[in-house]
Amino acid sequence: MASTPSDITGATRILGLIADPVAQARSPAMATALLREHGRFGAFVLLPMATPAAALGDVLAGLRRIANFAGAIVSMPHKTAIVALLDQLTPAAMQVGAVNVVRRDPDGRLVGTVLDGEGFVTGLTAAGHRVDGAACLLAGAGGAAAAIAHALAAHGCASLTIVNRTRAKAEALASRVRTAFPELAVHLTDAPASRYDAAINATSLGMRPDDPLPFADDVLGRTRLVAECVVAPEMTTLLERAHARGVAVHTGVPMLSAQMELMLRFMGVDLL
């Protein structure tokens, strides 16, 4: 049978999603749809690569040696750990200290950047929510949280309060943000009297139905908007509770959608 542009052949270049777990991930379906839309499916294909934390180094070492491996989206829990395993970082990734997409250069060098923060802000503003002048509460201090914290600051949020189960990680993120944006008010404690324009979950809490909430329950009565980074389920328990209380909600899907084309281009996909 004659080959068509949608066929996977010996010339197909492989893209990956490096994460654990991957079963719930939307990236492969979203990337496939975009590749098909631009007539590039078959020239490229994106595959889920279930990668436990202990195997991350071995997986990257193997991918370096696969000549038709073009790059990978990096998701939880690897966005911070992968930084030390790469050959080069973009200035944005160096500032944030995290990576969510990797490109393999022809010589096997792995180059990483981070697009989570800009993707989150782009999705938020496209939905009609303002970042400029906003008081923001951010749960998390990992890779996605770091990228979002820097993007919120870069886009002019008025204040940023970071809460995290491990306070030392929150302090480290706050220090990096203060260094990059010394004029920004950065706090580490959610005062019960504080009110927010946006409360943002940048942790993995919500992926499982029995996960605790990333915020104290009373936060839902002190914020105008609750926003997620978790994409599956799209309506997490946090968003359902916020919606039930009449609080505006913003799912994690727009963040991923806003950066998918950017991630594919970074990995060398020549979208037509």
- What pLDDT does 96 receive? 95
- What pLDDT does 120 receive? 97
- What pLDDT does 5 receive? 57
Q: Which parts of the chain have pLDDT scores under 70? A: 1-5
Percent of the chain with pLDDT over 70: 98
Domains of the chain: residue spans and CATH: 13-115+259-266 (3.40.50.10860), 117-255 (3.40.50.720)
Q: Give the bridge partners for 111, in sequence order.
A: 88, 103
* Residue range 231-268, pLDDT digits in tens: 999 999 999 999 999 999 999 999 999 999 999 999 99
pTM for this predicted structure: 0.90
Cβ pair 31, 265 in contact under 8 A:
no
Half-sphere exposure of 80 (CA within 13 A, CB side): 15
* Residue range 164-179, pLDDT digits in tens: 999 999 999 999 999 9
Q: In what order do the strands lie in the sheet with 159-163?
A: 185-187, 159-163, 135-139, 198-201, 225-228, 248-250
- What pLDDT does 272 receive? 75
Task: Tell me, yes or no, if 79 is annotated catalytic.
Answer: yes
Q: Which of 250, 218, 223 is nearest to 236 (CA)?
A: 250
Catalytic entry in 13, 40, 78, 79: 79
- What pLDDT does 3 receive? 42
Q: Hey, which bits of the chain come out as E strands?
A: 13-19, 44-50, 69-74, 88-89, 101-104, 110-113, 135-139, 159-163, 185-187, 198-201, 225-228, 248-250
- What pLDDT does 108 receive? 93
